[in-house]
Chain A
Amino acid sequence: MTSIVDLEAKIPNNVGLRDNKRLLMALEKWQPAFKRWWQELGPSDFNNKDVYLRTAIGVGQGGWAHFDYVKMPDYRWGIFLAEPVPERKIHFGDQLGQPVWSEVPGELRNRLRRLIVTQGDTEPASVEQQRLLGHTAPSLYDLRSLFQVNVEEGRHLWAMVYLLHTHFGGDGRDEADAMLERHSGDADNPRILQAFNYPIDNWVDFFCFTTFTDRDGKYQLASLAESGFDPLARTTQFMLTEEAYHMQTGENGVGRIARRAAELIKEGKDPAQEGAIPLAMLQRYINHWFSASMDLFGGEDSTNAAEAFASGLKGRYREGDGIYKDPKALDQNYSLQVPTDDGRIETRDIPLRRAMNAVLLDAYIADCKRIADRWNRDIDKLGTGFRFSLPDHKWNRHQGVYAGFRFAPSGELIDEATWTHQHTEWLPSQQDRDYVKSCMQAVREPGKFANYIAPPAQGANNQPPEFEYVKLR
């Protein structure tokens, strides 16, 4: 069964909007509000420029996207769901083997709506956080990458809004409106998750955000892609296709900053004297973003997570591949390290279902370790002798069982005085932030790059790095 892609419609889609007049009218009513939001809170000052962008035009494996110059307000934000799998069954939890739902079960309505709203709220939030970043882009290649990420986060908002409008009636429409009313950093009406309320005003933060925080998004989306609620599973499966580029942007971006510093060191120069980012400073940014992103997974011991798994709403990472021994997760425990009030760490076994956030976090940490290893292999070739490392999962946490305790990056429990004395060695200081800010000089000549970042190994869509990715004239 292949869905029909309607690219000519006012809202491109493969969900048959043309045949659902009521839904079409509701979404067409929401569309102008979205466009107003984009003009007011999307990337500032570049809306009349031609940007070489990828636009989703379908969900088939061969050629789902089209590349061309587009002015961002003219981007065709569409609604695309992955192809349905005939006779798909729920493959985990209490309803294992039952047919998936095409409509929301009444008893799960509130929980599901909260999941969708929380996920959906992050999409416009990140666009708002990054709205001024284009002014300091280190190259046209990077400027284009930023805008690609921004427009696709906008499309992901559309995906969540489609689900709210289609399956949650008046409540869903209100929630969709509220997505455009909350704003990142707004004192009265902020974004739901705190990590999305800080401006991202430099490219070190941006690349770390897309490496670590977008990767949290990947794992959340991947767990929803296993869902027994089939429209949500199919929506998030296709979002993951686009999200891969966002994480690649971050992973390569941090790697390019590290490589540039390593090149300068090899030449006998001090990166800090050359407008580049010293590797130890970059490590502090990595520490900050890795730990902040782990907080987004929620509590390691969570009855909410247990219920979401049991009810078939959220699976484990790649659950559908059959890599877990027990798809019901009933008979096993998870060993959780828990700090005690008397300054020890003890291992506590909790039922596996309650540890679903921790299991997902474990998969995330392994993925991040792979990335750090990749950065290290790259700078090893230049003989810096420096190695990036990821802090322990207990370090600098503000959510979950480790919140309220102090740890060293090694995972050792420490007292408040030690933290106070040493934390500036581990986290970016104001001095670091001022220095990074001083490096943020815009470079707008095709093929040229700011001195703190190496060119990419290859350009976008097989174009060379010197391609004119954004026409600024």
Chain B
Amino acid sequence: MTNRLCYVCEGGDCTEKGSGEIFERLRELIRRFDPQEQRIKIRRYPCFGACEVGINVTLFPDKIFYSTVTEADLPEIAAHIEGKGPPVQRLCGKAQPDVEQIIWDMLDSPY
């Protein structure tokens, strides 16, 4: 079982912006090359706290925090996850660094 994780924010603001559809579409794209979740698990996450730059999607342990994600960005995100493309830099660096750090601290549990 892989420990690589993709979280799609389903907080109030992101949901209003359509994160439910983003989750479904990204999962569909990932399942095309990873139907059994052997390379990455994709899950919803309650709220990252970067609501003003939603929709937010994170990758761990890559520590990539994508913001303002739209459906048009998903093929590139999926390609990066598959290892067939670079991180989508234009979607990075929009959230406050301390907000990003909170999620990495939680995922990088010492336990």
Residues of A within 8 A of B99 (CB): 370, 373
- In the assembled complex, how far is the CB of residue B36 from the closest CB belonging to chain A, in whole angstroms? 13
Complex Cα–Cα for A317 and B96 (A): 24
CB atoms of B12 and A324 under 8 A apart: no
- In the assembled complex, how far is the CB of residue B16 from the closest CB belonging to chain A, in whole angstroms? 6
Residues of A within 8 A of B47 (CB): 244, 370
- In the assembled complex, how far is the CB of residue B95 from the closest CB belonging to chain A, in whole angstroms? 11
A interface, over-half SS: helix
Residues of A within 8 A of B5 (CB): 321-323
- Stretch in contact with the other chain, from A114-122, A282-290, A325-333: A325-333
CB atoms of A329 and B3 under 8 A apart: no
A108 is an interface residue with CB less than 8 A from chain B:
no
Residues of A within 8 A of B12 (CB): 244-245, 248, 252
Residues of B within 8 A of A366 (CB): 102, 105-106
Residues of B within 8 A of A317 (CB): 106
CB atoms of A244 and B109 under 8 A apart: no
Interface size on A, residues (CB 8 A): 32
A369 is an interface residue with CB less than 8 A from chain B:
yes
CB atoms of B16 and A462 under 8 A apart: yes
Residues of B within 8 A of A370 (CB): 47-49, 99, 102
Contact bitstring A307-351, B, C-beta under 8 A = 1, else 0: 000000000111001111110010010100000000000000000
Contact bitstring B1-27, A, C-beta under 8 A = 1, else 0: 111010000111000100010011000
Complex Cα–Cα for A62 and B105 (A): 31
Residues of B within 8 A of A471 (CB): none
CB atoms of B111 and A325 under 8 A apart: yes
If A240-B46, A248-B12 are given as contacts, then 13 extra A-B residue pairs at C-beta distance below 8 Å, sorted by A number, are A61-B24, A218-B46, A244-B47, A316-B111, A322-B5, A323-B5, A323-B106, A324-B111, A329-B111, A363-B106, A366-B102, A373-B49, A373-B99
B residues adjacent to A (C-beta < 8 A): 1-3, 5, 10-12, 16, 20, 23-24, 41, 43, 46-49, 51-52, 96, 98-99, 102, 105-107, 109-111
